[in-house]
Amino acid sequence: MTDYTKLFDMSGRTALVVGAGSGIGQAAAQGLAAFGAKAFCADLNLAGAEETAAAIREQGGEAKAHQLDMTNEAAVNALFQAIGPVDVLVTTPSVNVRKPMLELTGDEFDKMINLNLKGTFLLMQAAGRGMAEQGRGSIIAFSSIRSQVVEPGQSVYAATKAGTVQLIRTMAAELGPKGVRANAIAPGVIETPLTLPIKSHPAWYQAYADRNVFKRWGQPSELVGAVLLLASDAGSYITGSLLFVDGGWMAIDGRFEPPL
C-alpha cells in the first residue's frame, strides 16, 4: 500500500524560492523547508533572503540565501550554475502599478512586463532545463485572481497574471512528458508588503475583506498548503492547473447578501 504519511515529504529534495525575502515567498520557503526540503532562498533583497534562510536554519532546516535579479538572464543562469538543477521552483516576485489605462506610461508597462512576465519566464526556462534533464521537477508560479477578474487600475498587472497562466500551461504541455509539472497559484487578497498601500486605506482594505466569503484578508502562511501540494508527490497528477487560494473570491460575485 502507498505510504500516505510520506505524501508531502520533501526530504532529500531541493527547492529554489525566488521572492523568498518577503510575503508569500518567505512563507513558501519556510513551509518547504519544514517538510524537509533544502531551500535556496533568492531575492533581489539579499537581507530579506538571509533573514528567511536564518529563520529556517533556526528551526533546524537547511537553507541558503542568494541575491538575484530575476529580470537579468545572465544572473538567472549563473544562479542555476551555482546551485545545480532543483526539484522545485517557486517564483513570486511581481510589481503592480495601479493606474487608469489612460494614465499608464510606457515605462510602467515595461516595468511590469519585465518582472512579472519576462522574469518569471527566465526562471521557468532555467529551472525547466535542469528538471527536464533529471526527469523530474515541479514549477510553481504565482498568478492572481486578477488573471480572471479585474477592476479599474489593474490592466497591465492583470494581463501579466493571465500571461503567467499561459506560460505555465505551455510549460506543463512541453515538459510533462519529461516528468516535469508546472502549475500556478492564484491568491486573493493577502497581507504582504505588496498590498500595504491598500492596508493604509481603510475603506479599500475593508471592501476587499468583505468581497470574499470569510470577510477577511489572507495571510502568507495560508498559501503554504497549496505550495506543498503542488511541490510534493501529493500533486503528482496535477499539472497545468491554476489553483485559487482566495477565500472564495472567485466563487461569489460579492455584491449583496440577500436577506434569507
Q: Indicate the Cα dihedral angle 238, 239, 242, 245, nearest 10°.
A: 40
Binding residues among 88-107 for ligand NAD as defined by CB under 6 A: 92-94
Is 73 near ligand NAD (CB under 6 A)? no
Single residue of 15, 16, 17, 18 touching ligand NAD by CB under 6 A: 18
Cα dihedral across residues 217, 229, 26, 92: positive or negative: negative
Binding residues among 173-232 for ligand NAD as defined by CB under 6 A: 187, 189-190, 192-195
Task: List, in order, residues 6 or more apart from 60 with CB less than 8 Å away.
Answer: none
Q: Which residues pair with 43 in a beta bridge?
A: 67
CA–CA distance, 115 with 127 (Å, rounded to integer): 17
Is 31 near ligand NAD (CB under 6 A)? no
Smallest distance, Å, CB 237 to ligand NAD? 25
Is 24 near ligand NAD (CB under 6 A)? yes
Is 242 near ligand NAD (CB under 6 A)? no
Q: Is 166 left (phi over 0), alpha (psi -120 to 50) or beta?
A: alpha
Is 117 near ligand NAD (CB under 6 A)? no
Q: Which residues bind ligand NAD (CB under 6 A)?
A: 18-19, 21-25, 43-45, 48, 68-71, 92-94, 115, 119, 142, 144, 187, 189-190, 192-195
